[in-house]
Structure 1
């Protein structure tokens, strides 16, 4: 994907060049139109933008969009003159696909293994798009640690810990999301109760995302809570981000050499990613 303006400016609309050669078959053209929405910033797009991103002429794009609007399941929705967005059928397809990924019963023992190997808290976060891109903790292993020792309040749980701007797990997920969604997250305010190590500058945050994509993991230094550091690695379904594994330890207990912690966190994320790519019927 290419852009005609500086990608470091969050929220700025960009011309998005089509990916690859123009689609040939009717099915391929329809798929190209649907995928164009994932490459464009924002929710609602004009016919011209969609056609350009799909690499198709406007007449063909218009026919495909109108067919999707007329479809009973609502592949596309027309929200104004020449303005469209993805419809509920697309959301249902995504939910259906994600529902077949492994549940906690098949992933919990990987978190237990991470806890034993590192002595840190082991948590599994998943990406939740409802109400904007967020992360939700769906499973965790605390080991011998008293939950009260973590010191996270109820307000922190619904603010700091769900923001993709904060923490290694948030930034790991954010690093693998489309640029259009990254722009939306970078436009959000940093949670008021974030830790002292949170990255507030958007340019620095964008640079950290590029580093995460290059290294395959992220390290957090007191980003969500004072006194706690972390290592996170992405849980992927092929090349699509599903969530992140997080290893969390008190800053005072973090070793100078993070390589063992990084190794075990990466191994846990890779094992869960392999389960994600396996049909649920084969797991259970």
Structure 2
């Protein structure tokens, strides 16, 4: 594993991924999945039939038949004349899938190891789509540190800590989300209590995404809180982001050579990702 130190803006500008389908799907099942996936590539939540068909690479008639069948099964909902959105059937499937992600009994030991190896605070964030894309801290290993000593006030928990716009842990999640979700987050206001290093310019923030995906981590310099720097890496379920691991240290204690901290943060995120991809037998 080759690791190089990176700052918040060490990235190749621009997106390298394409949201267009590679080729028209051939089988009936592939066409149905293409229609469902079209919603993840389109901005907003309600779309016209022709827009969905174009995103799926299908003709209008085929798309209409698939949508109507999906409406019957709750996979899609028809909103007005010729307009559709994803339905509760899709949401139930997503909840069912995410419910089998590893719990704290499996992840806490990994965070404890990261805390001991780096001397920093180790936190696990998960992606929450309810009410817009947010992050929630579900577990942490901070030793004898009092959360209040690191600025973890109630205001931070409900503002800075949940926003994907503020902090390395938010940016590594944001970098792996579909473009329409990224656009929704970029349209949000920067939390007023964010640190002085938070990236406020949308173009500058988006320019870090490619580098995060390429390097596998992000470095934050006083982004969430004044006086605290961080390293974060994404927790992935195959190619879908589930959350992030954050290693947090006081700025004066951050070494010039970040490679050891990056290494341990990456290993922690990879270990939790492995639990997500290949859960223990008892959890299946």
TM-score (norm 1): 0.92
Conserved 8 A contact 1:197-1:223:
yes
Conserved 8 A contact 1:167-1:223:
yes
Conserved 8 A contact 2:234-2:244:
yes
1:67 aligns with 2:69: yes
- Alpha carbons of structure 1 residues 113 and 283: separation in structure 2 relative to 1, 3 Å: farther
Q: Cα offset for 1:248?
A: 0.4
Conserved 8 A contact 2:40-2:178:
yes
CA offset digits 1:134-165 (Å, max 9, x no partner): 00000001112222211222111101010000
Q: Which gives a bigger RCO, structure 1 or 2 (Cα 8 Å, sep 6+)?
A: 2
**1:194-209 matches, cutoff 5 A:** 194-209=194-209
Name the residue aligned to 1:263: 263
Name the residue aligned to 1:162: 162
Aligned residues between the structures: 269
Conserved 8 A contact 1:275-1:283:
no
CA RMSD of aligned residues (A): 1.5
Name the residue aligned to 2:48: 46
Partners of 2:126 and 2:19 in 1: CA distance? 30
- Residue ranges of structure 1 left out of the alignment (5+ in a row): 1-6, 9-15
Partners of 2:40 and 2:151 in 1: CA distance? 38
TM-score (norm 2): 0.92
Alignment partner of 1:161: what SS?
coil
Partners of 1:164 and 1:20 in 2: CA distance? 30
- Residue ranges of structure 2 left out of the alignment (5+ in a row): 1-12
Alignment partner of 2:247: what SS?
strand
Q: Cα offset for 1:17?
A: 6.3
Alignment partner of 1:160: what SS?
coil
Q: Cα offset for 1:280?
A: 4.9
**1:6-17 matches, cutoff 5 A:** none
Partners of 2:132 and 2:39 in 1: CA distance? 16
CA offset digits 1:215-259 (Å, max 9, x no partner): 110000101100000000000000100000000001111111100
Partners of 2:144 and 2:88 in 1: CA distance? 44
Name the residue aligned to 2:113: 113
